[in-house]
Copies of this chain bind each other. A is one copy, B any other.
Amino acid sequence: MKKTVAVLHGDGVGQEVTEAAVKVLQSVGRRFDHTFEVEEGLIGGIAIDETGDPLPKETLEVCEKSDAVLLGAVGGPKWDQNPSALRPEKGLLGIRKHFGLFANLRPVKAVKGMSEASPLKDHLSKDVDMMIVRELTGGLYFGEPKRKTHNGAVDSLTYSRAEIERIVEQGFELARLRKGKVTSVDKANVLETSKLWREVVEEKKAHYPDVEVEHLLVDAAAMKLITQPASFDVVVTENLFGDILSDEASVLTGSLGMLPSASIRSDGFGLYEPVHGSAPDIAGMNIANPSAAILSVAMMLKYSFGMETEASAVETAVYSVFDDGYCTTDVQKAGHRVLSTSAFADKVIEE
């Protein structure tokens, strides 16, 4: 197959980890006889510096001609005081909305031998394997009215039934391919949008008799993620709850530096990015762990290109490199040999 991938490295370590991930992608191409054409584009702080726009028109064009997008990271102290239209994250919000990437998939999985880095006691963190499915283009992020005056401000949490249906379906479909359980998170005892959300989940449930469904209020979910993290399989929730809970979940296993994410829509087009940020303090030093970016490429292979075998090969390779006793400066394991970002990628390719 031939696929075109837009690579937007963005800021900070975004550059080096996407380079490493692209190397791995190209090696998958050679090994499995695919052609991956890579086109670069600007986004985030670097785009502001070079074009005055966190999401330049040229970048959207590059993405439009591609089958999927690989993003590094956006942001850094340099742009923290910018007015809100000129902030790096505007690029991220813009690209999600522009392409209608309504489903954000955030897997969180314990990595063997990394429980030392987990804040949780070992018996709680060791079997964690969940996927948070976050609605990404609706809710408080985009609802109108949304404005601020000197004396007050308003944001609007709006959802249409159709918006809820498609993300809930996504959750059920993924659960089917995993452990068969969906936890739907809402605040139905207070919010009207949550009542509608729960109604939709109850309706969809009928079409997935093989999937177990649990409803949790968002406050209870925030507790249970900590006290019983291994009890979750697929968690499906609205945009802001998903933002909070997926970040909460990301620190549970000590493997934050290795977590990938996907933001997809129904036709397979998607944007893939590591969960970790731009880490400006270690940028350009060739020491950042590229696993999250490489695993993001694995998600791309799976969700955008339908290349399941290739995706598993990449995943297995990443975990094997860890198992073989290698790590990087920022994601360390006692007794492991420290590799540079690029050398780590080479090891993954070797595997």
Tell me if B219 and A140 are in contact (CB < 8 A). Answer: no
CA distance A89 to B217 in the complex (A): 13
Complex interface: chain B residues within 8 A of A157 (CB) = 140, 154-157
Q: Mark out the residues of chain A between 10 and 55 whose CB falls within 8 Å of any chain B CB in the assembled complex.
A: none
User: Nearest Cβ distance between residue A141 and chain B, in whole angstroms?
Assistant: 6
Shortest Cβ distance from residue A244 to the other chain B in the assembled complex, whole angstroms:
5
From 158 to 173 in chain A, residues with beta carbon under 8 angstroms from any chain B beta carbon are 158-162
Shortest C-beta distance, A217 to chain B (Å), equals 9
Contact A223-B195, Cβ < 8 Å, known A152-B160, A154-B143, A155-B157: no
Question: A245 contacts the other chain (Cβ, under 8 Å)?
Answer: yes
Interface residues on A, range: 35 or more
Any chain B CB within 8 A of the CB of A148? yes
Interface assignment of A111: CB less than 8 Å from any CB of chain B? no
Could you say which of B87, B147, B245 contacts A189, with CB atoms under 8 Å apart?
A: B87
For residue A145, give the distance in angstroms from its CB to the closest CB of chain B.
Answer: 8
Q: Which of A219, A223, A225, A244 has the most CB of B within 10 A?
A: A244
Q: How far is the CA of A158 from the CA of B154 in the complex (A)?
A: 4
Tell me the complex Cα distance, A22–B320, Å.
61
- Structural contact, A156 and B154, CB atoms closer than 8 A: yes
Q: Which residues of B contact A150 (CB under 8 A)?
A: 161
Of the residues B118, B146, B192, contact of A147 by C-beta under 8 Å: B192
A248's partner among B156, B158, B160, B248 (CB-CB below 8 A) is B248
Chain B binder among A119-127, A263-271, A286-294, A328-336: A119-127
Q: Tell me which residues across on chain B come within 8 A of A159, comparing CB atoms.
A: 152-154
Residues of A near any B CB (own CB < 8 A): 84, 87, 89, 93, 118-121, 124, 140-141, 143, 146-148, 150-162, 187, 189-193, 195-196, 218-220, 222-223, 225-227, 240-241, 243-248, 250-252
9 more contacts with CB within 8 A, not counting A121-B121, A146-B192, A153-B159, are A119-B226, A148-B196, A151-B162, A152-B158, A153-B193, A154-B193, A155-B193, A157-B157, A223-B251
